[in-house]
Chain A
Amino acid sequence: MAWELATFSADLFREPEAIEGVEVELVTPGSPVRVTHVLDAVEPRIRPDGRAAFPSEGQAGEGRTNRLDGVVILSCLDFPGEERPLHEQESIVDLGGPGAALTPFADMTAVVLTFSPGAGGHVEIDAHARETTLSVAEEVARGTLDAEPHEVERFELGVADESLPAIAALIQISDLGPLYIQYVYGTPAGEAGLPRAVDPAEILDGAVTCGEYHWAAMRNPTWFFQRNELIRTLYRQHGKTLRFAGAVLMRGYEQSAADKQRAADGAADVARDLGAQGVVITTDAGGNSHTDVMLTCRACEQAGIRTTVVLAEETDPQSTRPILTDWVREADSIVSTGNVEELVEAWSPERVLGGDLLLDGTPAREAGPIPVRNYLGAANQMGQLALSARTE
């Protein structure tokens, strides 16, 4: 199967129309702006054949999809305080200052959507915000429909030399209940029949969306699936240094030890069915999702499949030992996506969008040094960015 991704210039950007209950702000690249309470980041996409860019049915990753280069939609929402479900976990994108090095969005035009929570519980508020954000991402890309792309990438796995090692991507997505859910074709990860193999192009084409809002630095917003560096790297290397055997989606935050083990064994089975000799295992968020990753690493190694795991560290900056939440002996090849406990130098933005106060009550404009852990996706564990940690 083949999928084409057509890239268009940001000149074709269409400003979204007014939306009730949502403040829409455009920010030009490199502006001294801090965006707070960020839920998700989405790349503007639309399909010329009229099918949904973020489908809940049918199959993504076939035909052609248009993308608008250099534009990102950031959705922001401060859930009502008395039942604030997010455990005080701030999520920041700095489009300027030292924090700009921690995000891929600083040199883009940002469409910042700030939702005012209306009536209803946080589940309804969230559903409305997600749907609106994804539909704005389509709307903003509409201008591409009558234009010529400046680049078309074709994603197709042709026959590759059998002597090259077969590598699969094993991608963990979260489901820990409302506000902690990533979706596969609009279905919560926990109900999506995971683990299972998907066409890697499906992941790049909007099949996975993010409604998971804790552990800001360690989570993967929708944009990271659409532009997934791991999958793109494996496509690029296919037939050169490796054979891309496919992608497996699995759930993080299985809630019992038995389910965790079952999911880990299941993921290893799927990887073996794909013929994988090696897998890169990625992680979403923190806490016990790291146990799911470690069990999966062990299950794969026991099945004879070599593994490399992608993880963030949670090391006290004064400590001389790197700290992982979980670890098994089999995890002998780990990529560090940085230490979330390190502080990022203080910065005073000229403007704040999303909300003037951080969740802990600090004014966002003069918050002082902020730990990496509060920067959206900064230490994401799909390897999207280049942040890492080393012993000095």
Chain B
Amino acid sequence: MLAKEIERAGIPAVYVTSLPTVARMIGANRIVRGPAITHPFGLDEDERRRIVERALDMLETDVEPNTVWEVEE
């Protein structure tokens, strides 16, 4: 809900979550799939950096509603 309301206010918001289905259901538009519920930004700094970079890329991209991006290994 936060993602949707922030985007409704005109601010692009990227939602990093391990549950993209739920994110789609509740109407988030920019979704990056995180590896696990317990650590959506991964366990170590390298993994975290890859996920954050991917999220920032998505903020810089015009997307279709309900888009989910994966993070490459």
Contact = CB atoms under 8 A, between A and B. Distances in A.
Nearest to B68: A257
B21 interface: yes
Nearest to B18: A257
Given A326-B25, A327-B25, A328-B25, A288 B19 contact: yes
B61 interface: no
Interface SS of chain B? loop
Interface string A302-345: 00000000000000000000000111100000000000000000
Nearest to A288: B19
Contact of A257 (B25, B33, B38): B33
Contacts of A300: none
Contacts of A378: none
B22 A291 contact: yes
Interface in B18-47: 18-22, 25, 33, 35-38
A134 interface: no
B36 A255 contact: yes
Contacts of A260: 19, 21
Interface string A127-150: 000000000000000000000000
B45 to A, nearest CB: 20
Contacts of B25: 294, 326-328
A295 interface: yes
A326 B21 contact: yes
A107 B28 CA distance: 47
B22 A255 contact: no
Contacts of A328: 21, 25
Contacts of B19: 257, 260, 288, 291
A294 B25 CA distance: 11
B73 to A, nearest CB: 13
A255 B37 contact: yes
A379 B12 CA distance: 38
Interface in A225-281: 255-257, 260
A291 B24 CA distance: 11
Nearest to B34: A257
Contacts of A325: 22
A291 B21 contact: yes
Contacts of B35: 256
Q: Which residue among B19, B21, B25, B33 has the maximum number of chain A CB atoms within 10 Å of its CB? A: B21
B38 to A, nearest CB: 7
Contacts of B21: 257, 260, 291, 294-295, 326, 328
Nearest to B33: A257
A256 B18 contact: yes
A295 B24 CA distance: 13
Given A291-B22, A326-B22, A327-B25, A255 B33 contact: no
Nearest to A253: B37
Contact of B38 (A255, A294, A295, A326): A255
18 contacts: A255-B36, A255-B37, A255-B38, A256-B35, A257-B18, A257-B21, A257-B33, A260-B19, A260-B21, A288-B19, A288-B22, A291-B22, A295-B21, A325-B22, A326-B22, A327-B25, A328-B21, A328-B25
Interface of A: 255-257, 260, 288, 291, 294-295, 325-328
Q: Give me the 7 closest cross-chain CB pairs, A-B, nearest first.
A: A256-B36, A257-B18, A327-B25, A326-B22, A326-B25, A255-B37, A291-B22
Given A257-B20, A326-B25, 4 more contacts: A257-B21, A288-B37, A294-B25, A327-B25
